[in-house]
Copies of this chain bind each other. A is one copy, B any other.
Amino acid sequence: MTTVLAPDTTIFEQRESEVRSYSRAWPAVFTRARGSWIQDEAGRDYLDFFAGAGALNYGHNNPVLKRALLEYLDSDGITHGLDMNTVAKRRFLETFQRNILAPRGLDYKVQFPGPTGTNAVEAALKLARKVTGRSSIVNFTGAFHGMTLGSLSVTGNSMKRAGAGIPLVHSTPMPFDNYFDGEMPDFHWFERVLDDTGSGLNRPAAVIVETVQGEGGVNVARPEWLRALADLCSSRGILLIVDDVQMGCGRTGPFFSFEVAGITPDIVTLSKSIGGYGLPMALTLMRPELDVWAPGEHNGTFRGNNPAFVTATAALEQYWSDGMLARSVRTKGDQVHAALADLAGRFDGLSARGRGLVQGLAFTRPEQAAAVCRTAFDAGLLAETAGPTDEVVKLLPPLTISTDELALGLNILTEAVASVCREQEQRA
C-alpha cells in the first residue's frame, strides 16, 4: 500500500454520536462499491468479508438487482407505500410464494413488520405472547436479536443490555448447543426445569433461537440439537421462533438456515439480505393459525419499502429459482472452512467453526482476533470480530463472491493470522 493522507473525518467526530462503531474499526471514508469490493475516497479497494453484517449476500450493488431498481425508480413506481397494496408488493409475495415457500412445503403468512430485523423480532415476540397469553420468552446464551426493548431483552450481550437503562425482564437464557462442550446431554437443564412445576421457571410463550449465532461468535447449532429443540417446544406447547435475520437468505446454504434440520418453526424472522440490495426490509412469517393480529395492531411507516420489494423479487428470481446458489455456498463454505482449519492446525489457541458462508476463527486470546482484523484491514480486507469477548474473527463474504476473490481474501487473512501469531510467539 502507498501511504495515503488520513481521511477527513472531522464532521463525523464533531457531529455523529459516540455510539458509532464500525467507523472506528475501519477508519476510512467509503465512496463506492461493487460485488465483493468496496472503495474508499482515496481510491483504495477493500475486499469485503463482512458484507453489511450479512445484509449483502448478493454483493454490493449487484448489477441484476440494480437494473431492476433503476428501472423501477425511473418509471416512478411507488417508493413509499405504507402497507397499501402495490404491484411491487404483489410481485414480491408471488415470487416468495413460488420460489421459496411452495418448493419447501411451507405455509406461512407474511407480515411486513417494519424494515429492520429488530422490528421483525418485536412483531414475533408480540405475536407469540398474544397467541399464548404468556409473557416469558426463553432465549439462548450468546443470542443477538436486536436493540429495541423487546429484542434487547432476549439478547445476551451485557454491554448492549446495559444500554436499556431499565432491568430487562421476561426472558430466561438457556444453554445454546455445545455450551458445555458436550459434557451434558442436550436440553437436560431446559427440559428438567420446564417439566418441574416447582422449578420457578415462568412457562414460556416461545423459544427464540438462531441456528448459527453470528454476533455470539459463530456458534453453530447441530441439526440434531435443533430437531430436539423443535420437539421439546412442540411437545410442551411452546412456540418456536427461528430468528433467521442473519442466517437466512442462503447464508448457510439453503434459503432458510433451519432447512438443514428439517424442522418447521412456528414463526420465522427475515431481514438483512431479504431486500437483496442492502435496502431496509424485513419479514415476520407465521403459521396461518397464529395470525391473530387485529388490523393495524402492529404498524410502522416503512413497512412498504417498495424499492426493496423490487430488488427482493429480482434476487429471488435470480438466485432462488434453482439450487445453484445454495450448492455454491456449500462449496465456498468448505473452501473457507478448510483455510481456517488449516490455520487452526498451524497455530496454538485457534479453532475453526461455521456453516456455509458464515465461518469463524476463534482465538483463545481475544486481542489476537482484534489484531488480525486490524492487520487484514491494512492489507485491504474487511473482517470483524464477534463473540462475548470479541474473540472470534467472523467471515461473512458475499455469497456471490468468486472463488478467486475468496482465495485472495483468505490469503490476506492467513498472512494476517500468521503475522499476529508469529509476533505473539516471538514476544513470548
The stretch of A165-173, A256-264, A415-423 in contact with B is A165-173
Indicate the size class of the contact surface on chain A.
Answer: 35 or more
The stretch of A183-191, A321-329, A339-347, A354-362 in contact with B is A183-191
- 22 intermolecular pairs with C-beta atoms under 8 Å apart: A12-B85, A16-B111, A16-B112, A17-B293, A18-B291, A22-B83, A31-B77, A31-B86, A52-B81, A79-B278, A116-B280, A128-B165, A129-B164, A135-B166, A147-B298, A154-B200, A158-B199, A158-B203, A159-B294, A169-B170, A172-B172, A180-B188
A153 to chain B, nearest CB (A): 8
CB-CB contacts of A124-167 with B at 8 A, as 1s and 0s?
01111110010110011111001111110111111111111111
Q: How far is the CA of A12 from the CA of B295 in the complex (A)?
A: 13
A298 B19 Cβ-Cβ under 8 A: yes
B199 A79 Cβ-Cβ under 8 A: no
A33 to chain B, nearest CB (A): 5
A234 to chain B, nearest CB (A): 20
A277, CB-defined interface residue at 8 Å: yes
A61, CB-defined interface residue at 8 Å: yes
Closest residue of chain B to A88 (Cβ to Cβ) is B31
The contact of A118 among B171, B245, B292, B300, by CB within 8 Å, is B300
Other than the given A19-B111, A66-B73, A70-B70, 14 more pairs (CB < 8 A) read A8-B90, A11-B90, A12-B93, A15-B93, A23-B84, A31-B86, A34-B76, A135-B167, A157-B197, A172-B172, A183-B188, A184-B188, A196-B388, A280-B305
A319, CB-defined interface residue at 8 Å: no
Given contacts A87-B30, A163-B130, A192-B179, contact A16 B109 (CB under 8 A): yes
Within 8 A of B (CB), among A80-116: 80-87, 89-90, 93-94, 96-97, 109-112, 114-116
A296 B161 Cβ-Cβ under 8 A: no
* B contact residues around A284 at 8 Å (CB): 17
* B contact residues around A8 at 8 Å (CB): 90
A147 B300 Cβ-Cβ under 8 A: yes
Which are the 8 A-B pairs with shortest beta-carbon distances? A129-B165, A80-B278, A198-B388, A149-B150, A19-B293, A169-B169, A156-B200, A148-B148
A369 to chain B, nearest CB (A): 14
A407, CB-defined interface residue at 8 Å: no
The contact of A21 among B60, B118, B295, by CB within 8 Å, is B295
B279 A79 Cβ-Cβ under 8 A: yes
Q: How far is the CA of A97 from the CA of B280 in the complex (A)?
A: 25
Q: How far is the CA of A182 from the CA of B217 in the complex (A)?
A: 31
Within 8 A of B (CB), among A14-42: 15-24, 26-34, 38, 41
A299, CB-defined interface residue at 8 Å: yes
A310, CB-defined interface residue at 8 Å: no
Q: How far is the CA of A180 from the CA of B9 in the complex (A)?
A: 51
A15 to chain B, nearest CB (A): 5
A53, CB-defined interface residue at 8 Å: yes
Q: How far is the CA of A83 from the CA of B79 in the complex (A)?
A: 24
